[in-house]
């Protein structure tokens, strides 16, 4: 899956959401934001440190969810950055993956 990191000019609302959520979560910085062209709704967070973290969403997720739903998914992903990194050994790469299984009643 290829991820293209996007600028605030390209996706201003997405950047605004992630920035606000990162501040509320007390993260040291806003994660770098990426988008995958996959049509499958998905979001994930990864990195080596909180300062080097990334959050990515797929085109399928952006097309499926409304703003409040997207904010909830992003908040979930940022919680992994805040909490999972706290429990990882330094230098470990961590990845979390949140799949949205719409249509199966698990959205």
State residue 96's pLDDT score: 46
Q: Which residues are catalytic?
A: 77
User: What is the C-alpha R_g of the chain?
Assistant: 13
Residue 73's H or E segment, with its range, is helix 67-87
Assign 22 to helix, strand or coil.
helix
Confidence of residue 104 (pLDDT cuts 50, 70, 90): very low
pTM across the whole model: 0.78
Assign 13 to helix, strand or coil.
helix
- Domain segments of the chain: what residues? 3-99
State residue 1's pLDDT score: 67
The CATH topology of domain 3-99 is Zincin-like (3.30.2010)
pLDDT digits (tens, 9 = 90+) for 11-39: 999 999 999 999 999 998 999 999 999 99
């Amino acid at each position: 899956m290829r991820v293209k990191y996007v600028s605030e000019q390209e996706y201003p609302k997405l950047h605004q959401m992630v920035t606000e959520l990162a501040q509320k979560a007390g993260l040291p910085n806003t994660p770098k934001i990426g988008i995958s062209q996959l049509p499958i709704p998905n979001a994930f967070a990864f990195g080596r440190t909180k300062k080097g973290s990334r959050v990515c969403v797929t085109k399928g997720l952006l097309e499926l969810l409304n703003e409040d739903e997207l904010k909830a998914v992003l908040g979930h992903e940022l919680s992994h950055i805040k909490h999972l990194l706290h429990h990882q050994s330094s230098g470990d790469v961590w990845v979390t993956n949140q799949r949205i299984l719409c249509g199966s009643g698990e959205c």
